[in-house]
Structures are given as structure tokens and as C-alpha cells.
Amino acid sequence: ERPFLCQEGGRRYRLSSELVEKPHGEEGPHKCLARGKAFTWSSNLIRHQRIHTGEKPYECGKCGNSFRDSSGLIRQQVIH
């Protein structure tokens, strides 16, 4: 569910903090050198770069599956 609506662009977001990340039309200062995609937060760039590197630093202790971000690990742990 995405309850937070941007009045300017009409997009909906899960978190209210996503509404204030950047004004429309501006790129974030953290840019992916492989694809040119820009991010407002450096942590989002780091997570994105794992797509290119294949790094999966979050490992499930029960089954050994690995994930790019902690949310993938949390989803897996709910399954167990």
C-alpha cells in the first residue's frame, strides 16, 4: 500500500519521507557510473551498485540464501 500522495507529481509512496527526498526535475547527487542513474541518498546508490557487482552481503542463517539488501533477508526469514 502507498498511502502518501505527491501533490505535484501524483505518485504515491509507502513512506512520508519519500515525499521530501528531492524536488521534481532534479537529480540526486549520487550517480551510478555504470548506468547514470542518480540517487538522493548514498545508501540507495550503494544498494543499487550491488546489481552490477553481484554482491549479496545478507545471508540467511537457516537456508544459506543471500540477498542484496536486508529487506530480502527479512522476507526470507518470514517464510521460515
User: Is there a domain that residue 31 lies in?
Assistant: yes
pLDDT tens for 27-40 read: 788 999 998 999 88
User: Is there a domain that residue 19 lies in?
Assistant: no
Q: What is the pTM of this model?
A: 0.60
Query: CATH no. for residue 48?
Result: 3.30.160.60
SS3 content of the chain, % helix, strand, coil (to 5): 35, 15, 50
User: Is there a domain that residue 11 lies in?
Assistant: no
Percent of the chain at pLDDT exceeding 90 = 54
Domain with 78 in it: 27-80
Overall domain count for the chain: 1
User: Is there a domain that residue 70 lies in?
Assistant: yes
User: Is there a domain that residue 43 lies in?
Assistant: yes
Please state the separation of Cα 44 from the chain's center in Å.
5
pLDDT tens for 67-79 read: 999 999 999 999 9
